[in-house]
Structure 1
Amino acid sequence: MTTMTNGADAVQNTFLGRFSVSQRIMLLTATVAVAAVALFVIVVRSLPGAPTALNLPWVLWAGAFALGEVLVVHWQWKRDAHSFSMGDLVLAVALFLATPTQLVTAMALGSGAALILHRRQRGLKLAFNVAEYALGAGVSLVVFHGLSAGLGPQLDWLAALVAVLSATLTADLCIFGIMTILEGRADGRKLVELLGLSVPFALGSAGMGLVVARTVVNDPAALALLALPTLLIVVAYRAYTGAKEQQDNLQLLHEVTSLLHTGDTQEALGDFLDSVRSAFRAEMAELVLLGPAGREGATVTRSREGAEPIVMAPLDDDQDHLRLLRLATASGALTTRTGTGRDTPLDTYAADRGLKDAVAAALRTEDRVHGLLLVGGRIGDVTTFTSRDLALLDTFARHVATSLERGRLEENLRQVTDLKEQLRHQALHDPLTGLPNRTLFLDRVRQAVDVAGRTRVWPAVVYLDLDGFKPVNDTFGHEAGDALLRTVADRLRGCLRPADTAARIGGDEFVVLLNGPVDRFRVARVVERIRAQLAVPVLLGDGVVTTVGASIGVAIGDVETPDADALIRGADIAMYAAKRAPGTDFLVYEPGLGTAADTGKDAAAELAAAIRDGELRTVYQPLVDLRTGRPIGAEALVRWQHPIDGTRPPDQFIALAEESGLITEIGAMVLDDACRQAARWVAQAPADADLLVTVNLSARQVADDRIVDQVAAALAASGLEPHRLVLEITETVLMHDRDAAAATLWQLKALGVRIAIDDFGTGYSSLAYLRRFPIDMLKVAREFVDGLGRDAHDDVITRAIVELAGTLGLLTVAEGIETNEQSRYVAGLGCDLAQGYLFSRPIEADAVGTLVAESWLSGIIGPRSLEEDRPGTAGELASA
């Protein structure tokens, strides 16, 4: 027996004649009800019961009709859903075993109760279906009694079949009337479709009912025998359908999830959701994907019937999805049908979007939640999402999460591999010219010398210093200078064999490794090619053309060459000699041509001139309080702004300054500037800001008798409070002359300044000096910070240093913080201060003052991206 459904649950607001659609449906319902009552009162009530009728309470028949209405087979056709109940079977039995009044009353009330309690029908739809049941029952009784009288007892079964078919035809005509009102026109094909679906099922149900009725009349005990094969058939059918459904679901799961790995990612997501929506026969399917950092970067992809798909759109208002995600994560999967009054987040979400029901599941793997898969709006009024749908969606979600995880892992591995290769290339090549840098060049020279030690095939090193580069840089700017350097690098490559190596080791200095066998004649030919290329004019842009020359020195290896460093140093000496001999094509290093001392004297003189000419300047790297996130000062660092080479990192001149004694002059300059700038920061900051500045003291400065007076003078001249100055020394300084160092540090301490141990743990790390010397602060070396979370030894050492400092009442500073993970790790250990590229690169003093002042107004200093302004070498952080 069929009942009225509408797949879209929407009434088109069409106006026919004087009445609206809803009014016409009400009119039809009233007509059917009146016809049912009239037929019952005028005809049915006076009909006699069948000779085989039993004296049973009508309530039992009502229960039978209710049960028949609960046992429903649903048929989905496009957007229309049809339900075929077992009511036809009960009707066929009742024609023989119930009185007419019992049949009509039980069918109307029993089926109506099932519609209310089981299908949750209300209002006009319920009234229409009850009226249609009553009319169908009356029509079937009239047909049955009319045909039975003419056919006789032997063919009363045929009369019953025709009676059930007449009830089915009555129901189909009533439903066709509703469809005609909704669509505004009568479509005969729809009636044919209805009859084609309902008549075969009605005949089958009626046939089973006749078997039951005859069995009851002739041999009631045989019902048990009939029940057994019937039960077996039902069980076998359910087992078959369950296995078939499972097989179909597995195939569907494979087909749908495979869409995520084919073609364009965005197109694949759209096809995937279209397939999911089709598989669940739903109006909408939605996939929410969380970003790598959880909520940040979340996207939504949505497929909805009749609407353009939305693919990976930013999730702006994500509160609903986050609530659903938390609920689904805790519960595994969710299902709802709106109007039940539960008011869960999924109920609210579905109702707000006009969905009558919905099902959702979290995309989970072992270590994280990737997002949410949601399907809503089951097409058809008589069906909704079941526990099987819930289990299937949960399986879908897990497979999708696994696919995403695998895809992300593969992508991450590829990115890590590419990044490692990129970092390796960057670490070993000059960023401007792309040539190998000093590190890679030295490694290749070492390999060549090692091989030559076994084969006696010796290499040569050619050292070039460009002549005329500084005027180009000063006159036309750094961009022109960079263009000139790139051109020279390209031309050098063209002068060499694939086995040879050209490198840029700084400024306008280039070196070339010529793999053996090499002699003076071959070197002369290479130099000739290089000079010919340098003589070709270089176009710098805007019509500017220039040429440069070069001072060239050569060192040819032989059995007397001790190592690669000596070979390079020999070429360097020969180059300086060639520079002092204008007009020389090139010079080959020979003992006595020049000495390292001579070269050192030239370099020391250049450094002294740089100090005198103000080429050295002080920059500052902010120190951040890990407890508040505010910058509380900075460390003073020194840089050499060379007029030709550009910025020279400290590792290129600090060692020379130590050897030549110029470090004391540099240190005094940095100390004076640091105190003066720190006093300015204090003046700009609020009165309660506990600001400080740290300055490195070298071994020579600690050993200098004037250091205490220099510090006192710097404090007095700047007006800086002594406790705001932190003097940093290394463990090695303390070990040279303990008594003298202790005396100096105690005198400095008497001034009120604070003392810090720099790079603690990398030197002697004797616990005795922590008691003997007036130490206030320990700085955890960047070597240990770099390994945090990756090297268990570094983790243990860092933890031990922080705990030791805490026990002794010392502050701790973590150097070289470059990642959020490192920052969180040292903060979790209880470290007090931190500095590194995560927070800021070394900046000018004015920028520090602004940063400090703004932080007290806005809160904290934000972590910087590691890609911002990363220096070319780690040595740029080293201080004097």
Structure 2
Amino acid sequence: MLITTALAAVAVALFVIVVHPLSGASTALNLPWVLWAAAFAAAEAFPVHVQVKKDSHTFSISDLVLAAGLVLTIPGHLVVAQVVGQGAALLLHRRQRGLKLAFNTALFALTGSVATTVDAVLSAPISETWYWLAALAAVLCANLVGNASIFAVISVSEGRVDLRKFVEMCTPTVPAAIAAAAIGLVVARTVTSDPAALALLALPTTLIIVAYRAFTKANLQQENLRRLHEVTALLHHGDSHAALGEFLTSVRSAFRAEMAELLLLDTSERELPTVSTSREGREPVALEPLQDDTQYEGLLRLATAAGVLTTRAGVGRGGQLDAYASDRKLKDTIAAVLRTDDRVHGLLLIGGRHGEVSSFTDDDLALLETFSRHVGTSLERGRLEETLREVTDLKEQLRHQALHDPLTGLPNRTLYLDRAKHAVESAARTHDWPAILYIDLDGFKPVNDTYGHDAGDLLLRTVADRIRGCLRPTDTAARLGGDEFAIVLGGPIDRAGVTRVIERLRSQLEVPVDLGDGRMATVGMSIGIALGEEGIGDADVLIRQADAAMYAAKRSGGSTHLFYEPGIGEHTDTRQDAESELTAAVQNEEFVVAYQPLIDMRSGRPIGAEALVRWQSPTKGLRMPDQFIPLAEETGLITDIGAIVLRDACMQAARWVRSIDPEDELLVTVNLSARQLQHEGLVEEVRAALTESALDPHRLVLEITETMLMHDRDTAATTLWALKDLGVRIAIDDFGTGYSSLAYLRRFPIDMLKVAREFVDGLGRDANDDAITRAIVDLAGTLGLLTIAEGIETTQQQEHVAALGCDLAQGYLFSRPVDADMVMSLVRGESWEDIPGQETSERVSKAG
């Protein structure tokens, strides 16, 4: 109060004695002082806060207005306009009252009077060319006087004088004031010399202001996300008391507040409500039973209706919150209800914003509401420790699935390649060279074709178990796909050692496998072996050698093993013949595209299809993708095949669209291979296909696997964002079977998640598959992504995915892959019975 009184007295004296008699500069314009007051008010409405522990001060573009006013108006009018304009902004916009308003108003009067006085004193001996120096010095002096006044208040409140704080205050504000004043003088000089040039100055100034505000808003959003992550992560602490204390302390720190309080209700109504509190200078109190909840009941009613509440300096919404803030001697308070769906879990309250100038803003309310939603979600899932354990277990399951074959439990190709690479790199240092074995089962296909896939799967699982039992703990057995296996034998090992392992393998496979119902089967092995040695520092070399030796063993009649020797794969072999045949197929355009309908689970109608490539070989008939796609990937021909599929899919989808209402939803999905994603011309290929077919880009969905994304994240991100810019949609195929890292869902522009067939197969029979599928659908819903369930073959699976909330589905229950004309008939609304020569989807499903 004494400082405020002193400031006001000095300001009045300086104004009456010095400022009021001053005449305006020769450049002064005849503008009403009210316009200057409006400019000061606008400048004060957008301040920048500088926080110094419990206190804060602001600087704004009012220095720009002040500098321009020193040149363009009468000093007395300028000071009056500053006091009225900035004072009105504080009263009406910032809702300041009492001593705080009086202090700031006196400060405006003093700094305005100081600025006009200094400008008048310094401009007298300076020529008109250099008058701007006097104005800059005047603004600088006014800024220093303002800082000194605020520093005096801080020193009184803290009971000590620390000059370093004054320097810290001046460090950001003085340069900002000079910069703002310089801009104001440029505006003033432009007005006096060439007013029309203000239009040129307005454009870059507006752009700079807009860009700055956008940058600061984005910065604030990023900071709030970081705070949200850090603060809500504390809820997963093992000790609930410690977790709540740390949580509330972190929330209080995030909002720069004196107090944070959490009221928790027991939804079972068996226990009393509890309150947890963190207050500055005191130890946090966690889960203290609340005996008298009268005040909180009123707050809960208000917050439940409004979502969030606020009271600012005693002027707020809801008398209950005003009373709450008053009882705890808090100048302002914000509160948000903890709610999920239709259940209320409690109330989160923040009170006492640090600083005389700053108070809680609408952004603080939005951030608090976000915090409350996260806390409510955690409470909905039960005890925090149990939630953490479930999430950890699920993450471990997904990690295991990403690196292991789901059928046999053996490491998959990804983990196998990693183990092989590690073994070779380690041998380069220790000289304990490993051996690589490639195994192809002889006689598996007849078993699979004769007895069915279930019998084939049982045979593969039994073979995998027997292979595993023949190896040491340091060795690795993997299933690469189909009936192909691979083994890394840790070094040191020689031919004799490898031969002993192979003898154990053969003795195990000679024992017939019981397939049930009295059916027995025996399979052999064609094995290729590559021995590590000095000079081979790359695992890929050993892998290629083992692969070549295995094909040579296969050519020799099978059920044998060969060690790699130079030249073993150089002569024309089956693989080279297959490559030549596939190359000719691409040149002769022997590929056709089939389409498997996509079904909208809500309406039950087809809304598009997935494009599936087939090879119509003149000599071998129709060949399925698994018979040529792996070879196409290895040879690079997959990019040409993919381009054929993409063009056909876009052309056919455009036909379908023309046959329906343009407003109807219709999609066509196309798989991208790893080679295609790395292909430099992919984006242009997609653009050309869309242009040629005139298909709306949003109707094209490009499917990729998780593993493809993680091989080269930077390249994948660049390519996917470029595709997204075309307007197409991106789907993750077989989600949950790859890396399943939630990080890429933020980094990459994902629109859809496809629930893997492995999980759909186990719905209703395997609790783990149920839990994982539910988690994937919930995750997609949270992120605003669509979900597609693939491999629907039974009514039970259909009912399960529908109950879980999947958006789309496909599978033999609805239809096998069909030609494009059939899809057009379906999306047009015709039933299977209406299409001549076609079976119903039900009969096709049962027949297949």
Q: Please give the TM-score of this superposition, normalised by the length of structure 1.
A: 0.42
Q: Please give the TM-score of this superposition, normalised by the length of structure 2.
A: 0.44
Q: Give the greater-gyration-radius structure (CA).
A: 1
